[in-house]
Structure 1
Amino acid sequence: MKLPFKTQPPEDLSTQIKLLSAALDEADCIIAGAGAGLSTSAGFLYSGERFRKYFSDFEEKYNFHDMYSSGFYPYDTLEEYWAFWSRYIWINRYMNPPKPVYEKLHTILKGKDYFVLTTNVDHCFQKAGFDKHRLFYTQGDYGLFQCSRPCQPVTYDNEKIIRQMVLSQGFKILEDNTLLPPASPKMTIPSNLVPRCPHCGKPLTMNLRADSTFVEDEGWHQAAERYSEFLRRHQPTKVLFLELGTGYNTPGIIKYPFWNMTDRWPDARYACINLNEALAPEEISKKSICIEGDIGEVLAQL
Structure 2
Amino acid sequence: MNRFEVSNDPDFALRLDLLKTAWHEADAVIIGAGSGLSTAAGFTYAGERFERYFSDFAATYGIRDMYSGGFYPFASLEEYWAYWSRFITVNRYHDVPKPVYADLLKLVAGKDYFVITTNVDHCFQKAGFARERLFYTQGDYSLFQCSVPCRQETFDNEAVVRAMVERQEHMRIPTELVPSCPYCGRPMTMNLRCDDTFVEDEGWHKAAERYDDFLRTRVRAERKVLFLELGVGGNTPVIIKYPFWQMTASSTDAVYACSNLGEANCPADIRRQSICINADIGDVLARLR
Q: Structure 2 length normalisation: TM-score? A: 0.96
- AA aligned to 2:270 is I
- Could you say which residue in structure 2 is the equivalent of 1:249? 235
- AA aligned to 1:282 is A
**Secondary structure, aligned partner of 1:55:** helix
> Does structure 2 retain, via aligned residues, the 8 Å contact 1:6–1:280?
no
Q: For 1:13 and 1:25, how far apart are their aligned partners in 2? A: 19
Alignment of 1:141-220 (within 5 A): 141-169=140-168, 186-220=170-204
Q: Which runs of 4+ in 1 moved over 6 A?
A: none
- AA aligned to 2:108 is L
- Could you say which residue in structure 2 is the equivalent of 1:85? 84
Residue 66 (structure 1) aligned with residue 65 (structure 2): yes
> Does structure 2 retain, via aligned residues, the 8 Å contact 1:42–1:100?
yes
Q: For 1:165 and 1:71, how far apart are their aligned partners in 2? A: 16
Q: For 1:57 and 1:295, how far apart are their aligned partners in 2? A: 32
- Could you say which residue in structure 1 is the equivalent of 2:43? 44
Residue 261 (structure 1) aligned with residue 260 (structure 2): no
- Could you say which residue in structure 2 is the equivalent of 1:7? 7
**Secondary structure, aligned partner of 1:279:** coil
Q: State the shift of 1:6 in Å.
A: 8.0
C-alpha change, 1:6 and 1:66, in structure 2 (3 Å) is farther
Q: State the shift of 1:7 in Å.
A: 1.2
Q: For 1:129 and 1:186, how far apart are their aligned partners in 2? A: 37
- Could you say which residue in structure 2 is the equivalent of 1:118? 117
**Secondary structure, aligned partner of 2:223:** coil
- Could you say which residue in structure 2 is the equivalent of 1:134? 133
C-alpha distance after superposition, 1:55-87 (max 9, x if no partner): 111100111110111110110110000000000
**Secondary structure, aligned partner of 2:75:** coil
Residue 231 (structure 1) aligned with residue 215 (structure 2): yes
> Does structure 2 retain, via aligned residues, the 8 Å contact 1:115–1:134?
yes
- AA aligned to 1:94 is Y
Q: For 1:265 and 1:199, how far apart are their aligned partners in 2? A: 48
Q: For 1:161 and 1:7, how far apart are their aligned partners in 2? A: 48
Q: For 1:104 and 1:132, how far apart are their aligned partners in 2? A: 17
> Does structure 1 retain, via aligned residues, the 8 Å contact 2:152–2:199?
yes
> Does structure 2 retain, via aligned residues, the 8 Å contact 1:148–1:202?
yes
- Could you say which residue in structure 2 is the equivalent of 1:271? 257
> Does structure 1 retain, via aligned residues, the 8 Å contact 2:30–2:226?
yes
> Does structure 1 retain, via aligned residues, the 8 Å contact 2:6–2:275?
no
> Does structure 2 retain, via aligned residues, the 8 Å contact 1:277–1:292?
yes
Q: State the shift of 1:148 in Å.
A: 0.1
Residue 295 (structure 1) aligned with residue 281 (structure 2): yes
- AA aligned to 1:42 is A
**Secondary structure, aligned partner of 1:252:** coil
Q: For 1:96 and 1:89, how far apart are their aligned partners in 2? A: 12
| CA RMSD, 1 decimal | 1.1
Q: For 1:110 and 1:120, how far apart are their aligned partners in 2? A: 22
The runs of 5 or more residues in structure 1 that have no matched partner are 170-184
Q: Structure 1 length normalisation: TM-score? A: 0.92
C-alpha distance after superposition, 1:247-297 (max 9, x if no partner): 110000000000000000221110000100110111111110110000001
Q: State the shift of 1:110 in Å.
A: 1.6
- AA aligned to 1:259 is W
Provide the identity percentage: 62
> Does structure 2 retain, via aligned residues, the 8 Å contact 1:272–1:279?
yes
- AA aligned to 1:196 is S
Count of matched residue pairs: 282
